[in-house]
Structure 1
Amino acid sequence: MENLITFCITVFTGFFAITNPISNMTVFLSLTQGADKKTKDDINKRANIIAFIIVTVFVLLGKYIFELFNISIPAFKITGGILIFYIGFEMLQSKKSDVKNIKHVNIDENIAVSPLAIPILAGPGTIVTAMNFVSKVEVLHIILVIAIFGSMSLITYYTFKMSDLIVKVVGNNVISVIGKIMGLIIAIIGTGMIIQGIKISFNLITS
């Protein structure tokens, strides 16, 4: 039971850091600027549902994707770790990650699919993180990962829904600091994945 609780906390922390609803809230506000309340809510709802479906598909089919493309777990962990570390490092530098940064977007409901769902909410970093959590686990752990990302999608939905109020109360400076903290957590997760990949490659894992 204690291991399951630790696993759940680790997964939630990882997803919270990589999806970063508070920081991405400002992206949502800028993309939906000028839209009425109903349109904003429709975009918000659709984006989170699509992101949840994408991550769930990768969580459930990740093993088969590995087999299809002959991807080894160490290679996946090292490559994914580098990618996640890079995103976190850019957040620490107060830059928008090139992996997520979209410069020109038409303000219509299609932004729910791109760029909101892909790549902002379910980008490479989120998918890599999700697949890393289920790369060598039991069915129960897979169900927990899906459930935790579902709860993360709900948190993101309500954060976006209350985005105008949150920015007024908290202020942009505090949101910027939170973004840097999330960046540090993401970079640490990436480093941990790289270390795990190297240990598995050289059979350094101890029971």
Structure 2
Amino acid sequence: MQIETFITYMTLTVLGLLPIMNPPSAATILLGLSKGRDRNYMVTQAKTAGVYLFIALCITFFIGASVLELFSISIPSLRLGGGIIILVIGFNMLFPSAKSDGNSPGQDSIALVPLTIPSLCGPGSMAMVISLAAQIASYEDHDSIVSVYTGVVAGLGVVTLIATFTLTMAYPLLRALGQNGIDAFTRIMGFLLICMGVQFFTLGVQEIVLEINELLAWQ
């Protein structure tokens, strides 16, 4: 295995994926949806989300493009779907109902949805990983291909560790803010999530319009 190639692709994966993934935004979702829950619940959700995230990233990297092609799902459609989910989460955080106090012992896990998908492994992250996989598929130096794939998987592992650590820091922030502070913080982040969802949705619409225009131009 070529160490230089391994380090290069691991670094590129981390630097390219981490800003798009934006783990602090996922931490705010965990913070907002875990009101009334104890530390063990939040840490468990954070660690479980880390496991789900690594699996989701690896699946996206190795077979993501094939899965999207199999179900005829385009990247713009992925953005639209992710935008709608983020919008719903944002509205629930900005305008919480009286029943959603987070104290129900039977509350479902939030590790997969919405922490992993679409927050951490959303349309932007998936598009980046799929693009990277397509670029590597055209790589002609077969002698170092093992180092390339190993470096990318290691990069995905590093990103997962960073995201998991960021999520685990949500509980100390919860303790520092207090109940009133977390209520205000949740509403603020709910508004920002709505803006993010609108942005995803708008990008998806723009890409679909561009595809339609290009199709009409060929006719």
Coarse TM-score class (shorter-chain normalised): 0.5 to 0.7
Indicate the SS of the match to 1:135: helix
- Of residues 155, 163, 168, the one that matches 1:161 is 168
Give the Cα separation in 1 of the matches to 2:33 and 2:72. 38
Give the Cα separation in 2 of the matches to 1:19 and 1:44. 15
- Quote the offset at 1:7 in angstroms: 3.6
User: Taking structure 1 as reference, are residues 136 and 67 closer, same or farther at Cα in structure 2, changes over 3 Å only?
Assistant: farther
CA contact (8 A) 1:59 1:130 kept: yes
Query: How is 1:47-86 mapped onto 2 (pairs within 5 angstroms)?
Result: 47-62=49-64, 64-65=66-67, 68=70
Is 13-22 or 102-111 further displaced after alignment? 102-111
User: Taking structure 1 as reference, are residues 129 and 56 closer, same or farther at Cα in structure 2, changes over 3 Å only?
Assistant: same
User: Taking structure 1 as reference, are residues 60 and 151 closer, same or farther at Cα in structure 2, changes over 3 Å only?
Assistant: same
1:132 aligns with 2:141: no
Give the Cα separation in 2 of the matches to 1:66 and 1:115. 20
User: Taking structure 1 as reference, are residues 53 and 42 closer, same or farther at Cα in structure 2, changes over 3 Å only?
Assistant: same
- Aligned residue pairs, count: 164
The aligned residue for residue 117 of structure 1 is: 116
Give deviations 1:151-191, integer Å, cap 9, x for gaps. 2111111111122435759xx8xxx9xx9xxx9xxxxxx9x
Query: How is 1:20-31 mapped onto 2 (pairs within 5 angstroms)?
Result: 20-31=22-33
User: Taking structure 1 as reference, are residues 166 and 37 closer, same or farther at Cα in structure 2, changes over 3 Å only?
Assistant: closer
Query: Any unmatched runs of 5+ in structure 1?
Result: 88-96, 184-189, 195-207
Give the TM-score normalised by the residue count of structure 1.
0.60
Give deviations 1:117-143, integer Å, cap 9, x for gaps. 211122222211111111131343233
- Quote the offset at 1:6 in angstroms: 4.4
What letter is aligned with 2:47? Answer: K
Query: Any unmatched runs of 5+ in structure 2?
Result: 94-99, 137-144, 178-184, 197-202, 208-219
User: Taking structure 1 as reference, are residues 127 and 160 closer, same or farther at Cα in structure 2, changes over 3 Å only?
Assistant: same
Query: How is 1:8-19 mapped onto 2 (pairs within 5 angstroms)?
Result: 8-19=10-21
| Superposition RMSD in Å | 4.2
Indicate the SS of the match to 1:35: coil
CA contact (8 A) 2:9 2:152 kept: no
The aligned residue for residue 186 of structure 1 is: none
What letter is aligned with 2:42? Answer: K
User: Taking structure 1 as reference, are residues 66 and 117 closer, same or farther at Cα in structure 2, changes over 3 Å only?
Assistant: closer
Determine what percentage of the aligned residue pairs are the same residue: 26
4+ residue segments displaced more than 6 Å: none
Give the Cα separation in 1 of the matches to 2:69 and 2:168. 40
User: Taking structure 1 as reference, are residues 42 and 164 closer, same or farther at Cα in structure 2, changes over 3 Å only?
Assistant: closer
